[in-house]
Amino acid sequence: MTTLHEPMVTGPDLSVWPASTEEPHTGAVTVGGVPLAEIADRFGTPVYVLDEGEVRERCRTYRDAFPDAEVLYAAKAFLCRAMADWIAGEGLGLDVCSAGELELAVSIGFPPERIVLHGNAKSPRDLETALRLAVGRIVIDSPSEIARLAAAVGPGGHQKVMVRVVPGISAGGHEKIRTGTDDQKFGLSIADGYAQHAIARILDQPQLELTGLHCHLGSQITSLKPYLAAVRRMVGLMARLHEQHGLVLPEIDLGGGHGIAYRPGEPALDLTALARRVRAELTESCTVAGLPVPRLIIEPGRAIVGPAGIAVYHVLAVKRTRDRTFVAVDGGMSDNPRPALYGVRYAPRLIGRHSAVAPAVVTVVGRHCEAGDLLAADVELPGDVRPGDLLAVPVAGAYHLSMASGYNMVGRPPVVAVRDGLARLLVRRESLGDIRSRDVGL
C-alpha cells in the first residue's frame, strides 16, 4: 500500500503527524522546523498549525496518482487565501460551496475556470457570483435549479454544468457523512428516474452545456469497492442517456471522501490502488457500453489538508473523579465540533516538557458549557499532566476552523503556517472586538 508520507519518527509513534515532524528530545516536537511550544508562546492557544510543505506534497501526490484526471481541492475542508494560493500553485482546481468561498479564492487570482460550484441549495447570490466570475462548472443538485440557472444565464449566455446523481451506494465513516444514498438531501436519484428527468430538462436549455455526471458517496471512505460500484452505475446511466438522447458526456466526477488515519494504526484509503482500479473500471465499463472514456474528476479535501494540521491547547484544569480523570483545555467544540457531531477520536499528546511518569487513561474535554464537549475520550497521557501543560492534537487541518462557531464567545483560533523553520500568521485570532463589532443592537 502506498501512503502519502512516512514521517521521520525519532520517538513515539508519529505516523499520523506531518512528514516534517521531529522530536529531537522527548516533548520537544517540531513541525516544519518550528517548535510547537514556541508557536504556542508566540501566538497563544488554542492555535492551529498548518504545515505548508505537507499540503503542497499531498497535492503533488494526487497529481502523480491521477495524472490524467482533474483534481479539485474541496474548499469546505479548510480555506483561507494562503491555502487557495498553495492549491493554485500546485495546479489543482477548486470545489466551492458558496459565494464566500468563491470570492475569497478569486481575490488571490485563482483562475475561475478551474473552480466548480456545488451546493444542494444554492442562493441567488451564489449563482449570480458564479456567473459574474465565470466559474468553470456549476453542479446542478435539484430540478428547481435548472430554470433558475437558465434564467440567470440569459438567452445569449452559456454555462457549463454537471448533474449530481445519487448512485444508491452507502459509504462513509458515519451515517451523518454518507451522501451516496437515496435518503439524504444531496443529488438526484438514478433509481427513481429523477436524475434522468433533470438531464432531459437541461438538454432543453440551449444556454446550459451538460458536460458530465457527478456523485459524492460520503466522507472517510477507506475501501475501494464503493468507488468502483459508483463508476459502474454512472457509466450505466451514461449509456442510457446515449441511447435516449445520443448524448456522449466528456466528464465523470467521483467526488472525494478519501479516508485518512486520525490515530496510529487506523486505515486510510490507498490512493495508488484507487487510481489504478478506478481507471481500469472506467475503461472496462465504457468499452462494454460502447462509449468513449470520459475524463475523470476527483475532489479531495480532508486527505490534502487534514494531516497537515495540528491543534495546540493549554491545559486549564485536571479533575479526578472516582471513575475518570478529565483534562480540560482552553478550546473545545467551538474550534472542533467533530467529536460531538460524529464521535471522531483523536490522539493528543503532551508537548513542551518531558514526563517520566507512567501514562494514565484520561478524557480531554473542552471549556464549553456542554456535556458533549469532548476532544478525546479515554486516551493515554502522562499521569502527571497538569494545568499549564501543552497538548497537541494531530490531523487537525480539516473541518476544524471551517466548522468553528462563536459558542460562548471565546473567539475562533488563529492559523499559523510553518515551513523551513519559519512560522507566519495566516488567519488572526478572532478578538472580543470582532465579536462586539457585529453586535449593533443598542
Instruction: Write out pLDDT tens, residues 374-404.
Output: 999 999 999 999 999 999 999 999 999 999 9
Residue 6: its pLDDT value, please? 43
d(CA 335, CA 333): 5
Indicate the helix (H) or strand (E) that contains 103.
helix 99-107
> Grid coordinates representing 53?
510543505
How many CA atoms are closer than 13 Å to the CA of 346, on its beta-carbon side? Answer: 31
- The partner residues of 297 in beta bridges, in order of sequence, read 70, 253
Could you give the residue numbers annotated as active site?
369
Residue 12: its pLDDT value, please? 66
d(CA 54, CA 90): 12
**What phi-psi label fits residue 386: left (phi over 0), alpha (psi between -120 and 50 degrees) or beta?**
beta
Residue 9: its pLDDT value, please? 38
* pTM of full prediction above 0.95: no
Q: How far is CA 395 from CA 22, 254, 311, 341, 441, in A?
A: 16, 24, 8, 17, 39
* Residue 358 CB-density burial (10 A; 0-12 exposed, 13-18 middle, 19+ buried): exposed
Q: How far is CA 151 from CA 73, 123, 155, 304, in A?
A: 29, 14, 8, 37
Residue 172: its pLDDT value, please? 52
Other C-beta atoms lying within 10 Å of the C-beta of residue 29? 27
Residue 182: its pLDDT value, please? 52
Per-position b or e across 38-60, b if 16+ CB within 10 A of its CB: ebbeebebbbbbbbbbbbbbbbe
Q: How far is CA 243 from CA 25, 236, 285, 313, in A?
A: 66, 11, 16, 59
DSSP assignment string, 293-319: PPEEEE--SHHHHGGGEEEEEEEEEEE
DSSP assignment string, 405-432: --GGG--PPPEEEEETTEEEEEEPPPPH
Which residues lie closer than 8 Å to 40 by C-beta, 6 or more apart? 47, 312, 314, 352, 390
Q: Which domains does the chain have, with CATH numbers?
A: 30-50+306-437 (2.40.37.10), 66-300 (3.20.20.10)
**What phi-psi label fits residue 225: left (phi over 0), alpha (psi between -120 and 50 degrees) or beta?**
alpha
Residue 10: its pLDDT value, please? 41
Other C-beta atoms lying within 10 Å of the C-beta of residue 286? 18
Size of the chain, expressed as the number of residues it contains: 442
**Which residues of the chain carry a pLDDT beneath 70?**
1-12, 170-186
**What phi-psi label fits residue 262: left (phi over 0), alpha (psi between -120 and 50 degrees) or beta?**
alpha
